[in-house]
C-alpha cells in the first residue's frame, strides 16, 4: 500500500528565512505533485515532478525529486507572508489516483 509522509506538520517561519518541507513515500511512482491549500479554499497545483532528479521552481518555491530515495523536497527561499498556507505532496498511484501526505501548515511571521 502506497503511503506518503510529510514533515514537519507545522512550520512557523520568519519572513526572509529559508526552509525545506520533506515528503517521503513508500513505493515507486512515476509522478509526484505539490499542492497549496489556503484556509477554506480548494487545492491549487504547484508542481508535478516526473523523473529522478527533476527540479522545478516558481518564485520563492523550488521542488525536487529523488526517486531512488523516494523523497521530494519543497524549498522555500526568503519566505514572505503570502506563502502562508498548507502544502501537500501527493503521489500518483496505479490508476492516477493521488495519495496525499498529511500536509504542512506553513505560517510566515513578519
Partner 1 sequence: EAGVAQSPRYKIIEKRQSVAFWCNPISGHATLYWYQQILGQGPKLLIQFQNNGVVDDSQLPKDRFSAERLKGVDSTLKIQPAKLEDSAVYLCASSGLAGGRKETQYFGPGTRLLVL
Interface contacts to partner 1, rule CB under 8 A: 4, 30-31, 33, 35, 41-45, 48, 50, 88, 90, 92, 95-103
68 burial level (CB within 10 Å; 0-12, 13-18, 19+)? exposed
Number of neighbours of residue 79 by Cβ within 10 angstroms:
22
Nearer to partner 1, 17 or 41 (CB): 41
Ordered DSSP codes for 52-78:
TT-EEEETTEEEEEETTTTEEEEEE-S
Q: What is the nearest approach in angstroms of partner 1 to the Cβ of residue 15?
A: 26
Q: What is the nearest approach in angstroms of partner 1 to the Cβ of residue 40?
A: 8
Grid cell, residue 53, equals 532528479
Q: What is the nearest approach in angstroms of partner 1 to the Cβ of residue 83?
A: 19
Nearer to partner 1, 83 or 98 (CB): 98
Amino acid at each position: 500500500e502506497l503511503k506518503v509522509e510529510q514533515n514537519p506538520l507545522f512550520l512557523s517561519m520568519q519572513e526572509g528565512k529559508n526552509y525545506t518541507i520533506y515528503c517521503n513515500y513508500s513505493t515507486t511512482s512515476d509522478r509526484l505533485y505539490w499542492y497549496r491549500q489556503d484556509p477554506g479554499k480548494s487545492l491549487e497545483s504547484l508542481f508535478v515532478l516526473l523523473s529522478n532528479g527533476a527540479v522545478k521552481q516558481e518564485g520563492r518555491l523550488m521542488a525536487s525529486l529523488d526517486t531512488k530515495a523516494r523523497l521530494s523536497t519543497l524549498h522555500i527561499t526568503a519566505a514572505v507572508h503570502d506563502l502562508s498556507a498548507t502544502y501537500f505532496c501527493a503521489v500518483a498511484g496505479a490508476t492516477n489516483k493521488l495519495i496525499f501526505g498529511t500536509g504542512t501548515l506553513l505560517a510566515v511571521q513578519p
